[in-house]
């Protein structure tokens, strides 16, 4: 019954195709429909084949073999390559491609082009038909050491075989595209044609010692031919029988290239380079390219499950993507891309640095896997695919011919930054979770990007603030939007923990005046702000900087909390004496501390601490300097501290008492002064090793306790004993 149905269908097709009243469109429709008609056969599906007695074949069958093998029946014509062609062939074979495995990619691309040419030609000529599905079949045989690839595409006549195979750098695909100009449907066909240079076929000589090409044109009445060459400078061509419409290439592999006769090796190569070509690719009867090129589909056509499966395929992951972007544009380059951001990354576990996660394709054929030049290194956590159709490649399709990759990189970087900005607006909570995981990459971007891109990357940064609760983060824009009237700078402090920031002597004045301060906890944050320097028109200023100029910090309150306008007029004489007294205290500190300080000044800050240091190295810089100098090695002294500026609070009780006892006990006063300086270094986070002050600290505590005990003893001796007398009792 099935054979009867097949014969009926074929007869109907033939009748319609031969009908004088049938329109070309109708002929094409019926031809295409019948070619794709499936008939159930048991649990499998059979495709109608109408060019032989074998009416249908199951899907699991390759159907690449004819009833009889190809056989040469005509006169063999021997031809030689021209001298220039021989040189080119030698270059292609030995120098053009960096990896031998790309011959698989090149041959599949050629086969895909042949199928596309047939599909397009059938739109205007229904008589063109291979009688087989538009598929690519590859077979490998380890015993025979052969690699065979066959397509059922447009095929070649004898003249076309001589022209296309006998002349290097003559691209049949390019000539086909040139002939398409002005034709209807040409645009979609141009997008699917891969070949450009006419050298891909010759990549087979990198691995093959002998190559046979069986080809037959889809034009009705065409004969089959066999083209043979060993790549030494000549080739033979002869008529052959039992040749299927299309092209079949049989490569006898060299001894050193036997791995390309191994199914697992070839399958991996197909999935690496050609997994997204437009037509099915079968390897030893098994379909290989089962993953759809989702980036070619419209954004709204892609389901969530398709996104998850495609992400897991390109990223080699098992989780679901956190964010996804379908990005297409025609200017300045024709780009189709599908990008993902994972839930987490491996660098956080202290493992090796992540490799770039985005691969570059051109017309669905991979050009660079995990391309290092496609995106800046700080975006290595992004996964996905970028397909650029008009990318100007070199002949080997491995490198670009001009600076287009730089332009492509610039466009993609800008779009990814905008993408993450939008995600932050859509759901700030989700974005903040993303930043918690991937913030180090963003900070790396601020440190490494150029001046034009750096401000845009900075928009993605998030930090805790003194105005918010612990764990709540804000952007620079949010900080600027709620700055105090007249405030010029954005203030920050680099500390390991929030508690350290809130207890810092530098923070007291800002807290008192209600000025918001950003808390930066990571060591790398110091390098971030040093590279960024300003956001818009606002400078980034550390709260421990010296001589901060900002209207909101000037004349707000005094030491006792009274406003300047409410303070009583000070006695000019007393004011001058206080100034001279402060200068004498500062000079004594400078003489006592010696080379440890550059200068000592009376502080103008509003603080409850005895002293602070300014103009000091940051803790991160100190650590880096120690590592570079090798000072951390066992047995070596610590890196000498860099002299700083010391600001003393002459109103603090410790400073006042120290000044009163300095003449009575100079040695003890010096120890206290040094301890005040070390305490200031600790508050700034720049004391390399606090253990260095333990001996001095113990001495100061011992002296303090001794003085306290002595004072109590004197009070006990001099206090008269009080005797209680009970009334009526004699004393």
Q: Is 271 left (phi over 0), alpha (psi -120 to 50) or beta?
A: alpha
What Rg value do the Cα atoms of the chain yield, rounded?
41
Q: Any binding-site annotation on 172? A: yes
Residues 6+ apart with CB under 8 A from 405: 373, 374, 391
Residues 198 and 170: beta-carbon distance below 8 Å: yes
Residues 129 and 220: beta-carbon distance below 8 Å: no
Q: How far apart are CA 95 and CA 166, in angstroms?
A: 20
Q: Which H, E and C letters describe 319-342, residue by residue?
A: CCCCEEEEEEECCCCCEEEEEEEC
For residue 549, what is the DSSP state?
-
- Which residue, 523, 529, 497, is CA-closest to 620? 523
Q: Any binding-site annotation on 196? A: yes
Q: Any binding-site annotation on 468? A: no
Q: Any binding-site annotation on 151? A: yes
For residue 393, what is the DSSP state?
B
Q: How far apart are CA 399 and CA 368, in angstroms?
A: 8
Kindly give the residue spans of alpha helices, DSSP state H, lying in 36-82. none
Residues 40 and 80: beta-carbon distance below 8 Å: no
Q: Any binding-site annotation on 46? A: no
**Total count of residues recorded for the chain:** 731
Q: Any binding-site annotation on 201? A: yes
Q: How far apart are CA 143 and CA 93, in angstroms?
A: 25
Q: Any binding-site annotation on 438? A: no
Q: Any binding-site annotation on 247? A: yes
Q: How far apart are CA 35 and CA 29, in angstroms?
A: 10
Q: Any binding-site annotation on 106? A: yes
Q: Whole-angstrom distance between the N-terminal and C-terminal Cα of the chain?
A: 141
> For the sheet containing 44-48, what is the strand order?
38-41, 44-48, 56-58
Q: Any binding-site annotation on 198? A: yes
Give the dihedral sign, CA 575/577/583/585.
Answer: negative
Count CA within 13 A, CB hemisphere, residue 624: 9
Q: List, in sequence order, every beta strand (DSSP E) within 157-223.
A: 208-216
CB burial of 411-440 (b: ≥16 within 10 Å; e: otherwise) equals: bbbeebbebbeebbeeebeebbebbebbbb
- Which residue, 503, 505, 539, 500, is CA-closest to 520? 500
Q: How far apart are CA 630 and CA 647, in angstroms?
A: 32
Specify the pairing of strand 323-329 against strand 234-241.
unpaired
Residues 286 and 302: beta-carbon distance below 8 Å: no
Angle formed at CA 137 by CA 132 and CA 140, multiple of 5 degrees: 145
- Which residue, 375, 341, 153, 143, is CA-closest to 249? 153
Feature table: binding site for ATP: 106, 110, 151, 156, 164, 171-172, 196-201, 247, 397
Feature table: binding site: 106, 110, 151, 156, 164, 171-172, 196-201, 247, 397
């Amino acid at each position: 019954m099935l054979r009867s149905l097949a014969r009926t269908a074929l007869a109907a097709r033939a009748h319609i195709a031969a009908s004088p009243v049938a329109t070309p469109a109708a002929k094409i429709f019926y031809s295409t429909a019948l070619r794709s008609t499936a008939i159930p056969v048991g649990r499998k599906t059979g495709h109608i084949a109408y060019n032989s007695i074998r009416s249908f074949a199951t899907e699991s069958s390759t159907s690449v073999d004819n009833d009889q093998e190809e056989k040469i029946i005509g006169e063999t014509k021997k031809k030689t390559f021209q001298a220039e062609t021989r040189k080119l062939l030698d270059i292609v074979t030995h120098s053009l491609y960096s990896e031998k495995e790309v011959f698989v990619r090149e041959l599949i691309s050629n086969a895909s082009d042949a199928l596309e040419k047939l599909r397009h030609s059938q739109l205007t000529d229904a008589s063109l038909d291979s009688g087989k599905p538009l598929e690519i079949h590859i077979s490998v045989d380890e015993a025979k050491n052969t690699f065979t690839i066959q397509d059922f595409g447009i095929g070649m006549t004898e003249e076309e075989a001589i022209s296309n195979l006998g002349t290097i750098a003559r691209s049949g695909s390019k000539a086909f595209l040139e002939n398409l100009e002005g034709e209807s449907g040409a645009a979609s066909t141009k997008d699917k044609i891969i070949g450009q240079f006419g050298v891909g076929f010759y990549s087979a000589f990198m691995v093959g010692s002998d190559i046979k090409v069986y080809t037959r044109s889809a034009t009705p009445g065409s004969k089959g031919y066999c083209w043979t060459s060993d790549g030494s400078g000549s080739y033979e061509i002869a008529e052959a029988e039992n040749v299927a419409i299309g092209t079949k290439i049989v490569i006898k592999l060299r001894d050193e290239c036997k791995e390309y006769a191994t199914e697992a090796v070839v399958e991996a190569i197909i999935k690496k380079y050609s997994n997204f070509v437009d037509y099915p690719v079968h390897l030893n009867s098994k379909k290989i390219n089962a993953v759809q090129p989702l980036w070619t589909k419209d954004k709204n056509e892609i389901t969530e499950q398709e996104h998850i499966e495609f992400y897991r395929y390109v990223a080699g992951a098992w989780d679901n993507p956190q964010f996804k972007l379908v990005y297409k544009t025609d200017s300045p380059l024709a780009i189709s891309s599908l990008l993902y951001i994972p839930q987490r990354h491996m660098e956080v576990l202290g493992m090796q640095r992540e490799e770039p996660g985005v691969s570059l394709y051109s017309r669905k054929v991979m050009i660079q896997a995990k391309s290092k030049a496609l995106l800046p290194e700080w975006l290595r956590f992004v996964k996905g695919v970028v397909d650029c159709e008009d990318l100007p490649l070199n002949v080997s399709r491995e490198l670009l011919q001009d600076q287009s990759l730089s332009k492509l990189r610039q466009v993609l970087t800008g779009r990814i930054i905008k993408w993450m900005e939008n995600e932050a607006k859509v759901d700030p909570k989700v974005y903040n979770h993303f930043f918690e995981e991937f913030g180090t990459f963003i900070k790396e971007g601020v440190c490494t990007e150029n001046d034009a891109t750096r401000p845009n990357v900075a928009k993605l940064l998030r930090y805790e603030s003194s105005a918010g609760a612990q764990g709540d983060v804000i952007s620079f824009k949010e900080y600027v939007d709620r700055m105090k009237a007249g405030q010029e700078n954005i203030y920050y402090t680099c500390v390991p923990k929030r508690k350290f920031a809130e207890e810092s002597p530098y923070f007291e004045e800002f807290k008192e005046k209600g000025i918001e301060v950003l808390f930066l906890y990571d060591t790398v944050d110091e390098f971030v702000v040093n590279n960024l320097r300003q956001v818009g028109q606002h400078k980034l200023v550390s709260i421990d900087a010296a001589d901060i100029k900002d209207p909101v910090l000037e004349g707000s309150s005094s030491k006792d909390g009274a406003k300047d306008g409410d303070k009583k007029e000070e006695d000019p004489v007393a004011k001058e004496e206080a100034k001279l007294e402060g200068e004498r205290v500062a000079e004594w500190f400078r003489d006592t501390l010696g080379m440890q300080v550059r200068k000592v000044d009376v502080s103008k800050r509003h603080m409850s601490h005895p002293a602070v240091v300014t103009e000091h190295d940051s803790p991160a810089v100190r650590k880096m300097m120690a590592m570079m100098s090798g000072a951390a090695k066992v047995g070596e002294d610590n890196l000498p501290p860099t002299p700083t500026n010391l600001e003393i609070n002459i109103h603090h009780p410790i400073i006042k008492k120290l000044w009163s006892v300095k003449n009575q006990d100079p040695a003890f006063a010096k120890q206290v002064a040094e301890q005040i300086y070390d305490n200031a270094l600790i508050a700034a986070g720049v004391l390399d090793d606090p253990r260095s002050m333990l001996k001095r600290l113990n001495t100061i505590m011992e002296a303090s306790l001794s003085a306290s005990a002595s004072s109590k003893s004197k009070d006990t001796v001099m206090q008269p004993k009080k005797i209680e007398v009970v009334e009526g009792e004699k004393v």
